Amino acid sequence: MLDVNKVRGGDGLAPISAQVDEILESVFETTRKATEAFFDAYNENPNPKVLATWLETRAWREIDYVFLLNEQIRRYGMRFKRNHITLLAKQSFQEAEHYEDVGRAVESLGGTVPTSVPEPAVPWSNWLWQCMDRHHLTAIAAWYVSETSASGSFEPTFVGAARQGHTEVVKIYKQIEIDEKFHTGLGRQILSTYAETDEDREEILRAMIGMRDIAWKTFTPEVVAATMNAKKRVAMAAAG
């Protein structure tokens, strides 16, 4: 199987590399702080259904990536080298595995695995698909930032979940952390290889900045609390 580390990229991002790195560092740090805040609140009142709700949006992100990557290949794949098509397909398979694994964790905590976009994830999902429609590289630029954002959540998740004995959650995210290194490496490689013009680079930065301002928000305790309250209202209305 192809190894992303053995497939060379180009220098297409060189003129904007400082801006790209600043965006990635910013979203990583913002997501890290949001995840720490979530687990600080969770550990004061460790209700498993709260953690399940937090993980539900993580689960959706995994399956939405599957849809997105497959559409990227279908729509734009013939612009890419065969080895990059193979690597994108490999990532898609891993994202499907993550949906299964995170979904299993959600169910073990008393939650429900989403089969449509959870309300907190709507802006994130909409931006990904808008980027898909706009340019052949911008969906990749957006998920590169989103995957980097997720990477910022890992260490606080390991610490916070372990504190409450959620060993299965820790185990799942330890594996996801390994896969994310491949995913972010692939994103950088493809953008570096196929960004050829200033217009390409402008579109890449637009997609990345938009995702930077969205990706971290579903990790916050405030969003989880609002989602839990919305679920309660729906349940009360259904009960009459």
- pLDDT tens sequence across 121-160: 999 999 999 999 999 999 999 999 999 999 999 999 999 9
Token pair for residue 175? 């594996």
Residues 173, 150: contact at Cβ < 8 Å?
no
The Cα 33–Cα 133 span in angstroms is: 32
Mean pLDDT is lowest, of 19-23, 166-170, 187-191, 230-234, for: 230-234
- pLDDT for residue 236 is more than 70: no
DSSP class of residue 116 equals: S
pLDDT band at 85 (very low <50, low <70, confident <90, very high): very high
Instruction: List b or e across 22-57, with b for residues whose CB sees 16 or more CB atoms inside 10 angstroms.
Output: ebbebbbebbbebbbebbebbeeeeeeebbbbbbbb
Q: What is the DSSP letter of 77?
A: G
- Global pTM reads 0.93
pLDDT of 7:
47
Residue 228: predicted pLDDT: 81
Q: Could you list the residue range(s) of the whole structural domain that residue 76 is in?
A: 12-230
Is 112 part of a structural domain of the chain? yes
Residue 235 belongs to a domain: no
Please check whether residue 4 lies inside any domain of the structure: no
Residue 27 lies in a domain: yes
Residues 6+ apart with CB under 8 A from 237: none
How many domains does the chain divide into?
1
Q: Which two tokens stand for residue 164?
A: 């409450």
C-alpha–C-alpha distance, residues 19 and 115, integer Å: 36
Residue pair 12/195 in contact by the 8 Å Cβ criterion: yes
In a domain, 169, yes or no: yes
Burial class (CB in 10 A: 0-12, 13-18, 19+), 232: exposed
Considering the domain boundaries, does residue 50 fall inside one?
A: yes
User: CATH code at 135?
Assistant: 1.20.910.10
Q: What pLDDT, on a 0 to 100 scale, did the predictor assign at position 8?
A: 56
Average pLDDT estimate for 15-44: 96
**Mean pLDDT, rounded, for 74-78:** 98
Residue 218 has pLDDT above 60, yes or no: yes
Residue 3 covered by a domain: no
For range 40-50, the mean pLDDT: 94
Instruction: Report the candidate in 74, 63, 207, 53 with the shortest Cα–Cα distance to residue 144.
Output: 207
CA quadruple 170, 34, 102, 53: dihedral sign: positive
What integer pLDDT is reported at residue 139 of this predicted model? 98
pLDDT of residue 232: 73
SS3 at position 160? helix
Interval 101-119: pLDDT, tens = 999 999 999 999 999 999 9
Domain-embedded: residue 42: yes
Q: Quick one: DSSP state of residue 14?
A: G
Residue 4 has pLDDT above 80, yes or no: no
Percent of the chain's residues with pLDDT above 70: 94
